């Protein structure tokens, strides 16, 4: 009887809790759904980079002054939102009030007004102010006071603006120069700042009581630990108008062309998938919307050619697709390298179209965008695997004319077979791009394929001090993909010595105009004195060895052909009866195109004692003969 009563009471309590919670739960779901819809509507987004976050003035980092016409053009390009990175400290006065310069606040207001007039959603933030906020552990009170003063003034100034203006607490927050460390105190300090930011804005009046607020993970990284910590803060704040944000610049080695990661391969794709899946599971699936506040490739900071063009297109195509699958709007980081603010034209129209068309449907691409044909080689059919991405192949075009299936090309499942007969017609036998054919599909952008005629690149000897030394190169139509550097005695040479493959443009780069392979000061700083074996990898598949020797800041470089030629010259100059011609040739040659094998080292070590024993034996035989006489 007692058990029955307990069962009935328990059921009644559960029912009461459920009935009590239902209206609140329904209201929460409705609010979260509305905020998710709000966030999805702001994509695609664009960053006004290298402008108001510059350490100096608006034009200090090379961009022109921002105009209303330019903002209108961004909207005309199809963008629905704009993120305005802002650094405030050098526009603020001293303690205790830290007053923001009125002229600067008015300038920011102008940009916000123009953007809203252009029907863009807007995000403003504290951007490179991270550079002083990272001192929070040792300068806690001063950092918090300045941070609070900044947001108090910003919130007050824009409190009557519509909710199409968002505030972002802090860009890529960190508390030391170590971007990878997950220290408990870092999470505690970020939580303190975000809670303070939330309190200031929500109590500042006007529309700020419901304005969408954006909170970033530590360093804007989508690692599990950092996502979880931000989720804890957002849950604690119990505010349905909060948005989480992270940044995505790709799988790091691919993003900067390091470690031999030259293509958007399975590893790079999986890194992307896992990052977005983690953010989705932590936030979106729990009713907390997410904005990818910045995206791109880190190598773009050096040059747009750090990563091969076709691989860039594949990365951006997949990223655009997968972010939409996970309901996360993307905001392109553009510091002036993508959309030219003077000509109002895209630097890479192909890239622009991949992103634009990707909002409607996926584009197709292929394993490669190049067909390399070597000088004097037999021209054969070339098979190129296609990534159709749900589309169908429709035509192969050359000079606006459709080529003939069966004669010029064939399709074998998802493989495009470019026939030898077509290639023979297209090849002019001039080094470089001889022709470009275009694959078209049922949807999305076209995929162009360059037909490139080349010969094996040639490198020649060189010498000079660090900073001036270069490798003279005849590229012969080929293009450099990456470079390995290892010490002859063992170990990887140069920066990032966890890999023999060096970072493109940061440590080395080709100059196709002058015909040289050049090195940066950063490369030489981390190369020790001694002999270094290089391997230059080209997109044709050619791998060319080269040896450099560094001694007290002076560099001498020789190619494999140079070494062989020098050895031959020394052999020719040595008298035939000396008995040492072979030894002379070997000693004159560098230690090899690649590091000497362990077997070779063992053989060398073995030959020395054997030679010594032979000499000793000869001496003993001579001594015995002498005694007999």
Residue 12 CA, distance from chain mean position:
58
Active site residue 172: yes
Residue 114 CB-density burial (10 A; 0-12 exposed, 13-18 middle, 19+ buried): buried
Helix axes 224-237 and 266-282, enclosed angle (nearest 10): 20
Question: Around Cβ 276, how many Cβ atoms within 10 Å?
Answer: 22
Strand partners, 517: 471, 510
Q: Which of 58, 168, 229, 294 is catalytic?
A: 294
What DSSP designation does 218 have? G
DSSP per-residue codes, 277-305: HHHHHHTGGGT--EEEEEES-GGGGT-TT
What DSSP designation does 282 have? H
| Nearest-10 Cα torsion for 249, 255, 261, 264 | 60
What DSSP designation does 91 have? G
SS3 102: helix
Strand partners, 371: 451
Residue 100 CB-density burial (10 A; 0-12 exposed, 13-18 middle, 19+ buried): buried
Strand partners, 433: 452
Look-up: residue for tokens 């209206």?
23
DSSP per-residue codes, 403-417: PPBTTTEEEETTEEE
Active site residue 58: no
Helix axes 140-157 and 184-202, enclosed angle (nearest 10): 30
For 346, 353, 475, the CA distances from 304, given in Å and listed in that order, are 13, 16, 20
- Helices of type H across 427-552: 521-525
Look-up: residue for tokens 């094998």?
597
> What's the Rg (C-alpha) of the chain?
32
Structure-block tokens of residue 388: 């159709």
SS3 206: helix
Asked whether 246 and 216 are in contact (CB, 8 A), the reply is yes
- Spatial neighbors of 91 by CB under 8 A, at least 6 apart, are 100, 101, 104
DSSP per-residue codes, 304-348: TTSS-HHHHHHHHHHHHHHHHHTT--EEE--SSSSEETTTTEES-
SS3 566: helix
Please state, in angstroms and rounded to a whole number, the distance separating the CA atoms of residues 226 and 219: 9
Please state, in angstroms and rounded to a whole number, the distance separating the CA atoms of residues 215 and 243: 6
Q: Which of 172, 311, 531, 542 is catalytic?
A: 172
Residues identified as active-site: 172, 294
């Amino acid at each position: 009887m007692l058990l029955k009563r307990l069962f009935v009471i328990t059921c009644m309590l559960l029912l009461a809790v459920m009935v009590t919670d239902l209206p609140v739960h329904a209201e929460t779901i409705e609010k979260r759904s509305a905020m998710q819809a709000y966030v999805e509507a702001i994509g695609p987004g664009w960053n006004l980079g290298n402008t108001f976050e510059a350490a100096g003035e608006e034009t200090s980092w090379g961009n022109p002054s921002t105009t209303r016409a330019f903002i209108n053009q961004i909207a005309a390009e199809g963008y629905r939102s704009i993120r305005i990175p802002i650094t405030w400290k050098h526009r603020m006065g001293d303690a205790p009030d830290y007053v923001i310069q009125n002229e600067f606040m008015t300038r920011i207001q102008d940009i916000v007004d123009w953007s809203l007039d252009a029907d863009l959603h807007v995000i403003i933030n504290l951007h490179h102010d991270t550079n002083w906020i990272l001192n929070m552990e040792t300068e806690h009170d001063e950092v918090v006071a300045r941070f609070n003063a900044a947001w108090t003034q910003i919130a007050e100034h824009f409190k009557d603006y519509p909710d199409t203006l968002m505030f972002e607490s802090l860009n890529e927050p960190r508390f030391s120069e170590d971007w990878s460390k997950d220290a408990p105190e870092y999470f505690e300090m970020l939580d303190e700042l975000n809670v303070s930011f939330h309190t200031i804005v929500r109590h500042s009046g006007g529309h700020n009581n419901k304005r969408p607020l954006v909170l970033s993970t530590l360093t804007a990284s989508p690692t599990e630990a950092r996502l979880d910590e931000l989720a804890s803060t957002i849950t604690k704040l119990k505010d349905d108008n909060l948005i989480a944000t992270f940044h995505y610049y790709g799988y790091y080695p691919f993003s900067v062309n390091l470690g031999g990661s030259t293509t958007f391969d399975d590893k790079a794709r999986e890194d992307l998938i896992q990052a977005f899946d983690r953010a989705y599971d932590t936030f979106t699936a729990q009713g907390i919307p997410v904005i990818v506040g910045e995206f791109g490739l880190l190598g773009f900071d050096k040059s747009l050619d750090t990563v091969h063009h076709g691989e860039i297109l594949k990365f951006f195509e997949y990223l655009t697709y997968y972010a939409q699958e996970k309901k996360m709007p993307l905001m392109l980081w553009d510091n002036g390298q993508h959309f030219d603010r003077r000509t109002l034209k895209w630097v890479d129209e192909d890239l622009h179209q991949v992103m634009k068309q990707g909002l409607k449907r996926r584009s197709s691409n292929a394993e490669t965008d190049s067909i390399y044909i070597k000088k004097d080689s037999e021209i054969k059919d070339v098979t190129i695997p296609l990534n159709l991405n749900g589309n169908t192949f429709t035509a192969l075009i050359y000079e606006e004319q459709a080529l003939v299936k069966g004669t010029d090309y064939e399709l074998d499942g998802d493989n495009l077979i470019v026939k030898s007969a077509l290639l023979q017609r297209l090849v002019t036998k001039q080094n470089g791009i001889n022709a470009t054919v275009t694959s078209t599909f049922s949807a999305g952008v076209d995929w162009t394929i360059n037909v490139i005629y080349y010969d094996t690149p040639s490198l020649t000897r060189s010498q000079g001090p660090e900073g001036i030394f270069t490798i003279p190169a005849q590229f012969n139509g080929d293009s450099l993909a990456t470079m390995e550097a290892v010490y002859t005695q063992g170990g990887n040479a140069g920066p990032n010595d966890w890999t023999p493959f060096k970072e493109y443009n940061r440590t080395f780069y080709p100059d196709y105009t002058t015909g040289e392979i050049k090195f940066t000061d950063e490369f030489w700083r981390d190369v020790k004195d001694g002999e270094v074996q290089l391997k230059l990898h080209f997109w044709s598949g050619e791998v060319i060895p080269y040896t450099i020797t560094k001694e007290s800041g002076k560099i001498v470089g020789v190619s494999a052909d140079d070494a062989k030629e020098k050895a031959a010259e020394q052999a020719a100059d040595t008298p035939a009866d000396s008995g040492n011609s072979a030894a002379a040739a070997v000693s004159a040659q560098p230690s090899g195109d690649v590091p000497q094998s362990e077997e070779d080292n063992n053989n060398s070590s073995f030959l020395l004692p054997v030679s010594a024993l032979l000499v000793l034996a000869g001496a003993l035989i001579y001594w015995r003969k002498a005694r007999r006489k």
